[in-house]
């Protein structure tokens, strides 16, 4: 944010901490671990009833974030044309569940094409290397074509991806090139101007915001790296029969745990888990633990948090990075080339005056903040409004 009034600060939308769940590795009707390690005793099938149960949980608690779908699992078939061993009716049912019940809250992404061996992006014939090793030697043009193929397959399957997930640490060695390729592919295939990708995790920093990687104000395009603040999947070992330790994330009273520390520091709270971790080789232990986590978050954080889809978090990060504030007396002019729903600003209050947006008084609230409202907080005011182009905030008696 560029401003001549340093006392104005950007708050999170509606002054609530964003919480975002990142689910890696979903494969239609199959356990990703069985695809990767077929001889290690993993349960082969994940029935669509499990996907329905996950969707039930999302609807019950309002869970939002991102949900991967691997376009060509193990380089064997495509989710838009058919997968070996998966009946077409079950494949269609899985895609329908994702499209109609999961995607409204969880933004869809490929992870990349196969989450296994790299393939020729034109023929989909397997290559010798794993995707991450292959990608580390590619240029922007080749990576753009590879990512575009993954996005196009999901679109052909009736899904609308708006971001990209890296299998393993794919892209980390050439992240600048990788980021440009992601942005180009999202724009060319999906018409997405502001996208996101998931590659990194940070289990140590006190605050872990999304990182704006690309920002082109003239073309109104941007790309954001979403970074979970817990450095590992807390439900991973449920596949080996272990119970997850929810207190590591948030204690029952909300006072302790890594996610609680992030929340109390005002940081976004993003958490990554895996489809196979939630399935837990058929026991559903991970999914039950996720439900317990959601219940603790809801109980302790109440109306101070908001489940936030990946793209909304990325859009807010890009829009606020480009915001310009200029003040003249009791008037603040606010502009950004990026649309920004629920832009929330904290600013010095004016005793006895009311806050107006483009000459129209904003509604005063003493409770939850919504778009078109403002409230006093001591000698400060917090206002929430939609920004498209430019607006003026002004104090009037």
- For residue 385, CA distances in Å to 280, 306, 325, 354 come to 43, 17, 15, 15
Per-residue pLDDT, 1: 64
Please give the mean pLDDT across all residues of the chain.
95
Ordered by start, the domain boundaries in the chain are 17-314, 324-396
Query: 38: pLDDT confidence band, cut at 50, 70 and 90?
Result: confident
Rg (CA), the chain: 22
Give the Cα separation of 323 and 273 in Å (integer).
Answer: 33
Does residue 71 surpass a pLDDT of 80?
Answer: yes
On the question of pLDDT at 35 being above 90, the answer is no
The pLDDT of residue 105 is: 96
CA–CA separation, 229 and 94 (whole Å)? 30
Q: What percent of the chain has pLDDT over 90?
A: 90
Q: What is the pLDDT of residues 291-343, one digit of tens each?
A: 999 999 999 999 999 999 999 999 999 999 999 999 888 889 999 999 999 99
pLDDT tens by residue, 267-299: 999 999 999 999 999 999 999 999 999 999 999
The confidence score (pLDDT) of residue 41 equals 87
Q: What is the pLDDT of residues 116-168, one digit of tens each?
A: 999 999 899 999 999 999 999 999 999 999 999 999 999 999 999 999 999 99
Tell me the β-bridge partners of 328: 331
CA distance 52 to 372: 36
pLDDT of residue 2: 63
| Mean pLDDT, residues 175-193 taken together | 98
Report pLDDT digits (tens) over 354-389: 999 999 999 999 888 999 999 998 889 999 999 999
Mean pLDDT of the 49-56 span: 98
pLDDT at 5 over 70: no
Rounded to two decimals, the pTM is: 0.95
- DSSP, collapsed to helix, strand or coil, labels residue 384 as strand
β-strand 360-361 against 354-357: which pairing, if any?
A: antiparallel
Spatial neighbors of 3 by CB under 8 A, at least 6 apart, are 323, 324, 325, 326
- Kindly state the average pLDDT of the residues 220-230: 97
Selected from 3.10.129.10, 3.20.20.370, 1.10.238.10, 1.10.1060.10, the CATH number assigned to the domain covering 17-314 reads 3.20.20.370
Give per-residue pLDDT as tens, 72-107: 999 999 999 999 999 999 999 999 999 999 999 999
On the CB side of 343, CA atoms within 13 Å amount to 29
Q: Is the pLDDT of residue 4 over 70?
A: no
Angstrom distances, CA of residue 299 to CA of 229, 286, 358: 21, 20, 38
């Amino acid at each position: 944010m560029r401003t001549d009034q340093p006392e104005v600060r950007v708050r999170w939308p509606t002054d609530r901490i964003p919480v975002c769940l990142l689910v890696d590795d979903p494969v239609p009707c199959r356990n990703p671990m069985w695809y990767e390690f077929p001889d290690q005793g993993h349960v082969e099938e994940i029935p669509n009833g499990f996907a329905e149960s996950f969707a039930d949980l999302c609807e019950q608690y309002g869970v939002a974030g991102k949900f991967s779908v691997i376009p060509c699992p193990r380089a064997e078939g495509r989710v838009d044309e058919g997968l070996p061993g998966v009946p077409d009716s079950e494949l269609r049912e899985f895609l329908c569940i994702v499209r109609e019940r999961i995607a409204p809250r969880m933004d869809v992404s490929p992870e990349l094409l196969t989450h296994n061996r790299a393939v020729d992006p034109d023929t989909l014939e397997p290559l010798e290397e794993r995707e991450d090793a292959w990608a580390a030697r590619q240029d922007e043009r080749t990576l753009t074509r590879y990512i575009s193929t993954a996005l196009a397959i999901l679109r052909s399957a009736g899904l609308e991806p708006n971001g990209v997930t890296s299998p393993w640490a794919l892209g980390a060695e050439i992240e600048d090139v990788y980021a440009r390729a992601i942005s180009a592919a999202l724009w060319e295939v999906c018409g997405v101007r502001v996208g996101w990708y998931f590659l990194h995790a940070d289990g140590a920093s006190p605050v872990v915001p999304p990182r704006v990687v690309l920002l082109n104000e003239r073309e109104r395009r941007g790309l954001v790296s979403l970074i979970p603040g817990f450095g590992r999947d807390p439900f991973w070992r449920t596949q080996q029969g272990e119970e997850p330790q929810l207190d590591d994330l948030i204690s029952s009273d909300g006072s302790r745990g890594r996610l609680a520390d992030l929340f109390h520091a005002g940081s976004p709270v993003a958490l990554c888990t895996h489809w196979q971790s939630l399935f837990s080789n058929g026991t559903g232990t991970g999914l039950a633990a996720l439900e317990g986590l959601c219940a603790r978050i809801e109980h302790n954080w109440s109306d101070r948090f908001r489940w936030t889809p990946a793209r909304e978090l990325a859009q807010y990060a890009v829009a606020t990075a480009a915001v310009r504030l200029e003040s003249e007396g009791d008037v603040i002019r606010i502009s950004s080339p990026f649309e920004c729903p629920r832009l929330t600003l904290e600013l010095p209050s004016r005793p006895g005056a009311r806050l107006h947006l483009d000459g129209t008084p904003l509604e005063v609230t003493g409770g939850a903040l919504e778009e078109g409202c403002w409230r006093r907080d001591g000698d400060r005011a917090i206002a929430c409004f939609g920004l498209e182009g430019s607006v003026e905030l002004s104090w009037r008696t």
